[in-house]
Amino acid sequence: MTTKTKNNVKITGKPEHPTIMFAHGYGCDQSMWRFVVPSFTDGFQVITFDHVGSGNSDQSAYDFEKYDSLDGYAGDVIEILEENGLDQVIFIGHSVSAMIGALVAIKRPELIKKLVMIGPSPCYINKEDYYGGFEEKDIEEMISTLEDNYLGWSSYITPVIIGRPDKPEFSEELNNSFCSIRPDIAKHFAKVTFTSDNRNDLSKIKVPTLIIQTEPDVIAPEKVGEYVYHQISGSVFTKIQTAGHCPHLTAPELTIEEIKKFLNYGG
Amino acid sequence: MVVKFDSTDYNELFHKAPCGYLKLDAFGKIITVNDTFCNWLGFNKKDLLFTKSFQDLLSIGGKMFYETHFLPLLQLRGEVSEVNFELLSIREKRLPFLVNAVTVFTDDGQKEFNITLFDISQRISFERELIKAKKEAESNAKRLEEKNRELERFTHIVTHDLKSPVRTIEGLFEIMSKKGYLSEEKEAKRLQKMVLDNLRRMKVFIDDLVDQAISENETEYGKLIDLNQICHSAMEMLGDEIKKDNVKFSINPLPIVKGNVSQLVRLFSNLFSNSIKYRSERPLEIEVSFERLDTWAEVKVKDNGIGFDPEFKERIFEYMKRLHSHEIYPGSGIGLYSCKRIVEAHGGKIWAEGFLDKGAVFHFTLPLA
């Protein structure tokens, strides 16, 4: 099986230009990037994909052992890049994918030229003198919220296409599995994401890194973003004036602007 | 009759609605809220309006779900329905709600979210029971599956380990008999015969056990199989018995089905040897035919043997249940049980018709190719 089907890899933009890869976080799929991607297709070759288990990936490829740590996901990113003969890629990772990108940059520095972390957290659970924002029981509570929403999930499978009067270019057909995820995978992915601890990896990141922070962000609070910034030497920290964990959805223009500034691209 | 409905009525409809109703701005701040919602959670309107955002009212698990699922869906799809959230009342009490939301746009293109909430405190306890029951059922099924596999392995080992000593004993007994080591005394001969009979019973028993254990590798049921060939393979397997008893077969053309070759050969040979074993004084005739039933083939194996009392038509398929004593018809009581397992593994059904001394008909269904 190629990564094209396994990870539902989509390549757009200009093949002769540098490559920029967008990796979605926990809970949705690559459609999270739809407000951001169009701003980069003129100057870059753009790769988006779904993590195995999410979106339109091959759910049968979800191996509970392999994906029991973020390394499994990092391995997939490496595979996608290798299969397409790509290196020196700009990696934009949201939430858990910010850490997945970091793992790739540590393991295979030649593959990643620059790293953009949106709402990163190396460790969600509070530990001794580290503030992650959550207690262990909070994570359990989230899992039980997931279980309460089994029913809700099945209803997501029905596609409903809502016209977007503000941005008609996005009224394209949405596919059936839009942001849907198998409940057992959702639970496992949540557990792996929110119990991961990659604090010790941060200082090993040697590529230029941008951290994009919002305020307030319940999932990755500002304190955590600052921690990441202090651990990665030479990194850049920027705060976007919007609330919530998904600035690429709530404030795509600001997010695009920060990424462009970091890449010295456009105005 | 013309019904007049003015803004006061809409106001009442909004505030006294049997659901919580609120409007959020693009950042999730509450900009409108109805009385029902405020009463349910014990808030004053001014505590909420323009000060709290919707996710401030969620439990921690809810906040995480909101950020990772709810909001992305609402942003990208424009609506979310039937999401289960727990909200915290002013006294920090957790109240379960079913939440629906849609994205709307103001005249100047600003994004807003309309949200309705339905109280589901009674339903949620029922749902939690269901989830608990489902979890229990899942873990039971898993345990059972493991137990089954264990049992299959056990049967496999036991039968294979038992086979060789039994063969050896039988062989030794024959040698002793040839060399004249056995007594020719009447009582001794009776006892020796009993020993041999019991050994043979044991052999039959072990062979049937081996057959019965549908091995772990036999899980392929999708092969296209010509039942005519299967029938002939089964007859070849029983070659000696068929010849010895001069059994007359009439095999009508049979269809192609989906299944597992070795299991289906076993099915036919078990049924044939069952007919041979329970033949009557009459020369034995076995007839095989089939009927098409939608996507299924109903195969019939009919004989003119001793038949059975219709009262026992279910019992004959039970594990190690026999209608006759070993002395009259030796056997383990596994043959037909094994047939039933094979047919059921193919998704089909097996049943039998019979009358005492009037022969028996075995029916079973298999999926047509």
A94-112 mean pLDDT: 97
Task: Tell me, yes or no, if A95 is annotated catalytic.
Answer: yes
A244/B103 touch (CB, cutoff 8 Å), yes or no: no
Stronger pLDDT, A181 or B300, i.e. the higher one:
B300
The pTM score is 0.65
Question: How does pLDDT run across A114-143, given as a tens digit for each residue?
Answer: 999 999 999 999 999 999 999 999 988 888
ipTM: 0.82
Question: How does pLDDT run across B128-141, given as a tens digit for each residue?
Answer: 788 789 889 999 99
pLDDT value, residue B215: 52
Stronger pLDDT, B83 or A70, i.e. the higher one:
A70
Sheet with strand B20-25: strands edge to edge: B30-33, B20-25, B111-119, B94-105, B79-88
Domain ranges in chain A are 3-263
pLDDT value, residue B1: 65
pLDDT value, residue A250: 87
Helix crossing, B227-237 with B261-277: angle to 10°? 50
Instruction: Determine if residue B296 is left, alpha or beta; phi over 0 gives left, psi from -120 to 50 gives alpha, anything else beta.
Output: beta
Vertex B145: Cα angle to B140 and B150 (nearest 5): 125
Q: Which of A62-71, A119-128, A184-193 has the lowest mean pLDDT?
A: A184-193
Say whether pLDDT at A158 is over 50.
no
Q: Nearest-CA residue of chain A relative to B70? A: A27
Q: Nearest-CA residue of chain A relative to B69? A: A27
CA distance B65 to chain A (A): 7
pLDDT value, residue B221: 83
Q: Which of A57, A95, A196, A235 is catalytic?
A: A95
Chain B partners within 8 Å of A219 (Cβ): 64, 67-68
Which parts of chain B have pLDDT scores under 50?
A: 216
CATH 3.40.50.920 fits A3-263, yes or no: no
Stronger pLDDT, B319 or A94, i.e. the higher one:
A94
Q: CA A11: distance to chain centroid? A: 17
pLDDT value, residue A36: 96
Chain B partners within 8 Å of A133 (Cβ): none
Nearest to A145 among B62, B73, B127 (CB): B62
pLDDT value, residue A176: 38
Contact between A220 and B43 under an 8 Å Cβ cutoff? The reply is no
Biggest alpha carbon–alpha carbon distance for chain A: 50
Task: Tell me, yes or no, if A184 is annotated catalytic.
Answer: no
A190-200 mean pLDDT: 94
pLDDT value, residue B153: 79
In a mutational test of the A interface, the residue from B68, B77, B98 whose CB has the highest number of chain A CBs within 10 Å is B68
Q: Which of A24, A51, A94, A245 is catalytic?
A: A245
Task: Tell me, yes or no, if A245 is annotated catalytic.
Answer: yes
Spatial separation of the C-alpha atoms in residues B330 and B276, rounded to whole Å: 12
